[in-house]
């Protein structure tokens, strides 16, 4: 991807966590940022914090699980701002979905947000970006998508979908002027990870993760994964034959 100057960005799931941090980071670096989420009060607080720092964040109440409506809103923003340079599909949810106690409602909620919602976000103005020969789409996957982790079938699978989807886009969009980046975070302090009741090795501060992500996006990197300790471990697990992985995963659960 050729180096580009970013003017505008849209970040989903910006009410908290990585999305909030990334929206603020981008705004402080001079972008006009459209921060989307379901909770208006949190988005307004984000906008106020950005304004105090001399930056611009515009709150947009949007639910990515309503895919068609979300796409319409993103397209309207694209037209209004003269073209989105950067679209980041960050909105995501987690939660246990164990094979022995499978709850379809929980699994569907994860899929609706992490798969359908993310893909709808990434596709919303992709044709316009290709026509303009300018743009960058980013998806926030997870190191949990490298393999199917015990008790988290829907979450691991949803993140595996996103990374593979982005990989295909990256290949297809070569030479169009549109960049593609997939981010693979490990454990980062957020509302999502605060609900976890299991050990989270090498837990990162949100600010550190955001800085790493932002710089990787600006550099046009195709993939970024962190922290390196967990990333290296997951790559080893990915290379394991199934019999060895299954035994290891059962011990790790």
Where in the sequence numbering do the catalytic residues fall?
155
**Whole-angstrom Cα distance, residue 161 to residue 145?**
8
Which helix or strand (DSSP H or E) is residue 13 part of? Answer: none
Phi, psi angle pair for 219, to nearest 5°: -80, -5
Peptide bond preceding 218 in cis form (omega within 30 of 0): no
Cβ pair 173, 134 in contact under 8 A: no
Tokens of 228: 């390196």
Ramachandran angles phi, psi of 179, nearest 5°: -95, 160
Q: Which residue has the tokens 């068609």?
A: 68
| Helix-then-strand count for the chain, H and E | 11, 7
């Amino acid at each position: 991807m050729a180096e580009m100057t970013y003017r505008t960005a849209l970040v989903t799931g910006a009410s908290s966590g990585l999305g909030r941090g990334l929206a603020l980071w981008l705004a402080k670096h001079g972008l006009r940022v459209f921060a989307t989420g379901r909770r208006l009060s949190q988005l307004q607080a984000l906008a106020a914090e950005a304004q105090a720092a001399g930056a611009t964040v515009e709150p947009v109440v949007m639910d990515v699980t309503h895919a068609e409506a979300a796409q319409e809103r993103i397209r309207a923003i694209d037209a209004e701002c003269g073209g989105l340079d950067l679209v980041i599909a960050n909105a995501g949810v987690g939660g246990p979905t164990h094979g022995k106690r499978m709850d379809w409602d929980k699994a569907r909620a994860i899929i609706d947000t992490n798969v359908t919602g993310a893909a709808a976000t990434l596709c919303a103005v992709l044709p316009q970006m290709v026509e303009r020969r300018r743009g960058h789409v980013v998806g926030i996957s997870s190191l949990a998508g490298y393999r199917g982790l015990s008790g988290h079938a829907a979450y691991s699978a949803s993140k595996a979908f996103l990374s593979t989807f982005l990989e295909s886009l990256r290949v297809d969009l070569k030479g169009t002027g549109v960049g593609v980046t997939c981010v693979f975070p490990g454990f980062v302090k957020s509302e999502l990870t605060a609900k976890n009741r299991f050990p989270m090795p090498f837990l990162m501060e949100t600010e550190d993760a955001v800085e790493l992500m932002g710089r990787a996006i600006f550099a046009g990197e195709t993939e970024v994964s962190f922290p390196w300790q967990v990333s290296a471990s997951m790559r080893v697990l990915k290379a394991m034959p199934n019999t060895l992985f299954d035994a290891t995963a059962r011990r790790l659960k």
